[in-house]
Amino acid sequence: MRKLLLLIFFVTACDYNLGPTIINTNTNTNTNNNDFHDLINFAPSTNPSAPVASPTGGTETPLPLPANAQGIAQTISNNNPTLIMRSCQAIYGESAWQFMDTIVAALKASDPRWGYMVKATRQISADVIAYRATSDNTGAWGVDIIVDLCGTPRFSWQVLGFDPNAEWSGTRF
């Protein structure tokens, strides 16, 4: 009889339900609004119109950014929404450069001084373009054109400033 009661108690205890089943679902709603572009040692000048040392000696006044550049880049972005969504090189590899390449090509068609920002590591920036404002490959305006590059990328036109020591490249090869 004792064994039967223990068996009944065990079966009843195992099947006993203390309340409704609770299912916890966690939806991640965190977003990163900070744009940490991949420039290193980019130090914009406090006065971008002040003369800077020329590589050939003497000084020269840096050119300002062309007034029509933002509109050109915005049009390219609006007409190519899938390119920017696939612009993270860490995920999409070489094909991720299509957005940057398309914008740089369109800007270069209006002014050949547009190109790519060269980082201190001698690599091309993945989200910042450059406008060569001096007579050499140093002295450039930096413009961050992709916000949240490897998250939810979107077009932006954030002028980072003019750095007299920034390096520019006409190609990324």
Per residue in 71-107, pLDDT (tens digit) is: 999 999 999 999 999 999 999 999 999 999 999 999 9
Supply the pLDDT for residue 7.
Answer: 46
Q: What is the pTM of this model?
A: 0.74
Question: Contact, 157 vs 137, CB < 8 A?
Answer: no
* Predicted local confidence at residue 56, as pLDDT: 65
Residue partners of 124: CB distance under 8 A and separation at least 6: 116, 117, 118, 169, 172
What pLDDT sits at residue 27? 57
- The whole-number pLDDT of residue 14 equals 52
For 17-68, the pLDDT digits (tens) are 555 666 655 554 444 444 455 666 677 877 777 788 766 667 888 899 999 9
Question: What pLDDT sits at residue 172?
Answer: 87
Q: What is the pLDDT of residue 150?
A: 92
Q: What is the pLDDT of residue 144?
A: 95
pLDDT attached to residue 105: 97
Q: Are strands 124-132 and 138-147 parallel, antiparallel or unpaired?
A: antiparallel
| pLDDT tens track for 127-171 | 999 999 988 777 899 999 999 999 999 999 999 999 988 888 999
What is the rounded CA–CA span in Å between residue 6 and residue 1?
Answer: 9
Q: What is the DSSP string of the chain?
A: -HHHHHHHHHHHHHH---S------------------S-SS----S-TTS-EE-TTSSEEPPPPPPTTHHHHHHHHHHH-HHHHHT--HHHHGGGGGHHHHHHHHHHHHH-TTEEEEEPTTSSEEEEEEEEE-SSSSEEEEEEEEEESTTSS-EEEEEEEEEEEEEEEESS--
Per-residue pLDDT band at 69 (split at 50, 70, 90) = very high
Distance CA 156, CA 144 (A): 7
- The predicted pLDDT at position 49 comes to 78
Domain ranges of the chain: 62-173
**Tokens representing 91?**
């995920």
Residue 171, both tokens: 């190609």
What are 50's two structure tokens?
A: 């002040």
Q: How many CB atoms lie within 10 A of CB 143?
A: 24
